[in-house]
Structure 1
Amino acid sequence: MTLEQYMRELWLMDKQYGQEEELYPLINMLLRDGANTEKLSIRDVHNAKRFCEKSLRKYINGFGGYPDLAIWNEQFGEKEDEKVILNRIYGCVEVKSNIKNPEQVEGEVKVKIELEQEKNSEQDEVKIVAENKLEQPKQKNYFIKRNNKKIYLNYANTGNATVEGQFLGELFWYGKVLYTNGVIWKYYTLSKESGNKINGIRKDYISNPPSKGEVGYKTWIFEQCKETLLKIISADIGDLTEIYEKIKDKTSIPTFDSQDYDKWKKFKTNLATIDWTEVIF
């Protein structure tokens, strides 16, 4: 996909419909452009809650609800041992209109590291804290702290995950999350140390999942992880904001310059070098 083609689609989306699901096929095509996904399965699963069979649904849903796109091994879903299936879950894509949400989830930056292959990577530490709900003493709220501010992972009245809670749940289940609003692209993965901590929880969830409807069902993963220090590695994949601003609210698509093409090329290169098969768990 070329820069012109992609920006034309964003331009048409903005003026004709402008809904999140319009991005799913575009992201799907962008991912398939890279050699890193040639032997993988990329599936649009945002409607999985409605259409998936029960035997498969639990592997797509995991902890944080259904992502928008799931990335699996080609053999994912075959009738075999469940432990093998977990090893065939490689990552997911979450699309949101507000890119600031995952940045809140990262928590305070404790350590900055430089990796040889990703010099723009950051490693952050997150700890989930639980507190009793005032109106329902037997239930709990879960949050992380950033700059002494509580970022809640579930809603007090329903127990459903907030946007931040959904993001963390997906990261704990899939191990890798590409997060985007179509313009800003960020990639998150658990450190291998944290992946080892979480993997046992994944297996427990499969072998003995909490019963639906019981107190704490929707916040089960946060209870298992509370007070555990977890590290998240993040990398900037691309920021197309300046290019997007050239087309936003315009009556036609303008001509792009060399800097725009350089940013697009770098973005496509970064996207194509994500190692989806890297072992996290």
Structure 2
Amino acid sequence: MARAVTQQRKLINTALAWGIGLLIFFPILWTILTSFKTEATAIADPPVFLAFDWTLENYEAVMERSNYAKFLWNSIIIAGGSTILGIIVAVPAAWSMAFVPSKRTKDILLWMLSTKMLPAVGVLYPIYLIFINLGILDSRVGLVIVLMLMNLPIIVWMLYTYFREIPGEILEAARMDGASLKEEILYVLTPMAIPGIASTVLLNFILAWNEAFWTLNLTAANAAPLTAFIASYSSPEGLFFAKLSAASTMAIAPILILGWFSQKQLVSGLTFGAVK
């Protein structure tokens, strides 16, 4: 029997959730507010929160100095391409681990996850040389491949978890009806796991969008995404906090909007199979 939750407990939990949420969101809020300040106000001591003269001069300066649309397009191509390619590779892999029993499945999954524990800088030099030899340094193709490989363990793990919640009898019935392996995955498994796949796509798109280490080290000008766009505002002359905040706000705005409109789908996917 479920334990009743008192009204007081609900209020405490709600207040606690709001407090944690605001604490997490505060750095983003401060960045957005700083982007509307002058450079003098941005470094004022004590800090000024809301009582300042709002200005758009930082956004105007950023747009004049940089080709924002090019950086944005590169980010969309790199994040979207790596996520789609990762899903194409991960769906069959997760299917085989979820529905083809093996004693080594868990060992393989743990090994895949352990690759995320290796510091990225440890493999930077060989990958850099490979990219030079293949002629894909400072190219969107190269970044799509490396970001896909970097996030592939997470994609496989998430899809494996979702696929395990789908009864194997349904797939067996499809085979008895004459479905091929391709038809089983495309027309039976995938539609049933849409919430899980959607949340996996969204999460990995966000991870690829925010990736800075590989994008800064494997690009120069042609394929530079928004992470390089932000980094360009850190100069030897010093940090211009207001302009840096404006660039950061322009870089995170698309992903914030995407997350806001897809939060219901993301929560639905992350809780997929949680209630029996």
Superposed pair shares fold, TM > 0.5:
no
- Which of 1 and 2 has higher RCO (CA within 8 Å, sep 6+)? 2
Rg larger for: 2
TM score, norm. by length of structure 1: 0.26
TM score, norm. by length of structure 2: 0.27
1 or 2, which has the higher strand percentage? 1
